[in-house]
Amino acid sequence: MSQADASRTGISAEPLRCRPPATATVQIDNAELRATRWDFPPGAETGWHRHGFRYVVVPLSPGRMLLELPGGATMEAEISTGVSYERAPGAEHNVVNAGSTPFSFVEIELKAFPG
């Protein structure tokens, strides 16, 4: 199914997957920000999503992520404990633990920067 068909019908154009879900635990949610801890056992995924705000990720442990992107593209990224990174609003992806060990990070969404 094309992306245009998916938009028109409300049915996802992304392939179906059978992976365990990563666990999201909201730690703070107020007018300024939302901080969510994500825990990924091996093979776990976030599910397809779009980020509505600029965000910062603070890895709590090292890991290897597979990022599934729009249109079927993929990329891999390594995260290191305590080495933070930021992304602009509007990012769309599914994050998968591509490694053999669990990893975790805290994602901080900055609500003053929507997109």
Tokens standing for 81?
């404990």
In SS3 terms, 89-112 reads as CCCEEEEEECCCCCEEEEEEEEEE
What whole-number distance in Å separates Cα of residue 27 and Cα of residue 37? 7
| CATH number where 77 lies | 2.60.120.10
How many domains does one find in the chain?
1
- Identify the CA nearest to 21 among candidates 94, 108, 101, 109: 94
pLDDT (tens digit per residue) in 2-56? 555 555 666 666 566 689 999 999 999 999 999 999 999 999 999 999 999 999 9
What whole-number distance in Å separates Cα of residue 77 and Cα of residue 68? 11
pLDDT (tens digit per residue) in 14-28? 566 689 999 999 999
User: Domain of 22?
Assistant: 3-114
